[in-house]
Amino acid sequence: MQGTMGTSRRRTAGIFAAGALASLTLATVLGAGTGIQSGATLARAAEGGSAAAEAPKTEADVAGEAAINEIYDALTEQAEAYAPEIVTLEDGTQVQRTPTDPGAYFQMGYWDKTSYNTYYLNADNRGCNSCHADLAQVVADMDFFHLELSSGLGSDVTVMDCRICHDQGYGYVEKTQQLGSLIHGIHSKEGFAGDCMSCHTATSDGTGLQLWDEVKHDVLQGITAVSAEDAEPVVEFSYDQDVTTPMFPASWFYGPSNVENIGKQLAGVEPSEDVWDTWEVSVTGLVDKPFSMTLADLIDQAPSETRIVMNQCIMNPPGGEQVANFEITGIPISWMLEQAGVQDGATAVMAVAPDGWSRGVPIERVNEHDGYLVYKINGELVDYDDGFPLLTYYPGEAAPACIRWTSELQVVDTPLEDMKYWTGWTDSDGSGINDYNGGHVLTTDTPEDEIFWVNKPNAGITHLHEGQIIPAGQPYTFEGYATGFDEKVVAVEISLDGGTSWTSFDTSDSDPTKWVYWYFTFTPEKASSYTLMVRAVTEDGNVSAVPDEVMFTVQ
């Protein structure tokens, strides 16, 4: 053993002198047991708690300490050279996306100057944000006209937000389960300086390659877990349903009405009430008294309501920004139907745009929650790409039910199973094989309690960047939203230990037609990194399938 250690020590000195730390196995350098004792002895000496430490040092003691310090000095130098990168974003926010490695390796005497995350895992150079500070902007800058992924809620768009459309977007994309092919194709072109490990991580448990951005919080060292029991006495929670936002962007070149009005929006054409004098709105179909009126006459003669409501894209990803809580001003659709007189046998109301595009909701939904012909959003005329001069809105329904540029309400007796009607996006078993007609649950015989909802309920963390630096020892208020489409959110649940335990906060008195905008105040005492996870629970017992998760850094 002495001969082996002597050889190791000599080899160590040579390696450190050359700076070739990557090839060094520290357990081998120190020898079994000896390195641990040496580190412990140094720790006791620092604390002044050992009689041996107070005794005069022999030549062997001095030589041994020098050999150990040589190792520690090299580790410290490496940790400083490979300290996690701190980035200042355009808004001045500082983020450290890789946790500071706390060390605490048993065989190293719990030395805290190590660089496992940055030197060995190369974490600062992995994941989408290592190359793209703002993935939403990268998509916006493409030659291809893509839906805007950011609506100003202050979250980071990640590759995880892309999966619901490109992998599960039945009816919205030509091919599903294609995100991997698409991204690999893009990154196989000239100009990409990374490799497979830039985007992936590999395991030895049979899982194989995984997306780094999906599993990094389980891979990285230096993330402190706070159990629900430990966190609960020092947290505060509240929510406000009247926080409003602009309508999220949801325009694409589909159909003449979309193309025409997106063009006007891009050209900066300002909406004008003059259009109200010529815009005709008709009520047709299974009614006793069909009629048609200009929007100006309707606004003059019909009752008008102003209220705050929530709307969400049917494929808003878990924690995504395709959601809004906004104030609408509009004419109740119930009033329109009352004037026309709905006939027996009617099943649904279809809103129709001038180019014939239409979607509908069941009559029973209109009777229960009403609906609106909306001509103002947040007190302003509706934008062209949001449907100027008029769009329909139904509380609790997904965005596809909100027909823009509405010119007709058509009462029909179409069997509901033949309608396109969504109240959340579904996935049969989480594998991406969607057998519910793109979320249309009325077309499946699968029992409701066996339906896998991808984004119902949905919960997101807003105004917090991955790795955002916040001060230690001071209360910090996190915020975000929770929605249930047509279901009431009765609880928002928070986890600070990676989902091992959850603290549930009651929201059972909330209004299901608005989002639950929550505030969670937590005082982190220890300088470290933490993960905040959030999920929602609905009145029907549905729980967010994919909680939103963001790591933050405390200094």
Ordered DSSP codes for 208-239 = --EEHHHHHHHH-S-BPPB-HHHHGGGEEEEE
Phi, then psi, of 34 in degrees rounded to 5: -65, -45
Q: What is the dihedral of CA 534, 456, 145, 384, to 10 degrees?
A: -110
- b/e map of 251-285 (b: 16 or more CB within 10 Å)? beeeeebbeebbeebeeeeebeeeebeebebbbbb
Q: What radius of gyration, in Å, describes the C-alpha atoms of the chain?
A: 30
* Alpha-carbon separation of residue 366 from 174, 198, 363, 392, 488 (angstroms): 33, 50, 5, 12, 17
Residue-wise pLDDT tens digits, 155-182 = 999 999 998 888 888 778 888 888 999 9
| Positive or negative: CA dihedral 16, 20, 22, 28 | negative
Q: Is 416 strand, coil or helix?
A: helix
| Paired residues of 495 in beta bridges | 533
Distance CA 500, CA 72 (A): 35
Closest CA to 453 of 309, 310, 248, 316: 316
- Helix 34-47 vs helix 59-81: crossing angle, to nearest 10: 90
pLDDT confidence bin for 320, thresholds 50/70/90: very high
- Provide the residue count of the chain: 555
Q: Please work out, in degrees rounded to the nearest 5, the angle formed at the alpha carbon of residue 485 by the alpha carbons of 480 and 491.
A: 50
User: pTM of the entire structure?
Assistant: 0.86
Question: Is the bond preceding residue 457 a cis peptide, omega within 30 degrees?
Answer: yes
Residue-wise pLDDT tens digits, 386-409 = 999 999 999 988 898 899 999 999
Structure tokens at 303: 């009752």
Distance CA 544, CA 535 (A): 5
> Is pLDDT above 80 for 105?
no
Contact 171, 163 (CB under 8 A): no
Distance CA 223, CA 96 (A): 12
Helices in 273-320 by DSSP H: which ranges? 295-301
> Is pLDDT above 70 for 190?
yes
| Mean pLDDT of the chain, nearest integer | 85
Structure tokens at 509: 């008195």
| 222-240 mean pLDDT | 88
> Is pLDDT above 90 for 535?
yes
> Is pLDDT above 70 for 129?
yes
Phi, then psi, of 173 in degrees rounded to 5: -125, 155
pLDDT confidence bin for 240, thresholds 50/70/90: very high
Closest CA to 262 of 388, 393, 375, 141: 388
267 contacts: CB under 8 Å, gap ≥ 6: none
Closest CA to 519 of 463, 473, 474, 465: 463
- Lowest mean pLDDT: which of 140-149, 441-450, 467-476? 441-450
More confident residue, 234 or 481: 481
Q: How many CB atoms lie within 10 A of CB 464?
A: 23
Amino acid at 92: G
Distance CA 246, CA 459 (A): 18
Structure tokens at 510: 């909330």
Q: What is residue 34's predicted lDDT score, i.e. its pLDDT? A: 33
| 64-92 mean pLDDT | 92
Distance CA 13, CA 5 (A): 12
- Lowest mean pLDDT: which of 69-78, 169-178, 429-438? 429-438
Q: How far is CA 402 from the centre of its chain?
A: 24
If you search the block for the tokens 């300002």, which residue do you land on?
Answer: 270
* Alpha-carbon separation of residue 416 from 338, 351, 364, 365 (angstroms): 22, 15, 11, 12
| Paired residues of 476 in beta bridges | 522
Residue-wise pLDDT tens digits, 277-310 = 999 999 999 999 999 999 999 999 999 999 999 9
473 contacts: CB under 8 Å, gap ≥ 6: 523, 524, 525
pLDDT confidence bin for 32, thresholds 50/70/90: very low
Q: Is 202 strand, coil or helix?
A: coil
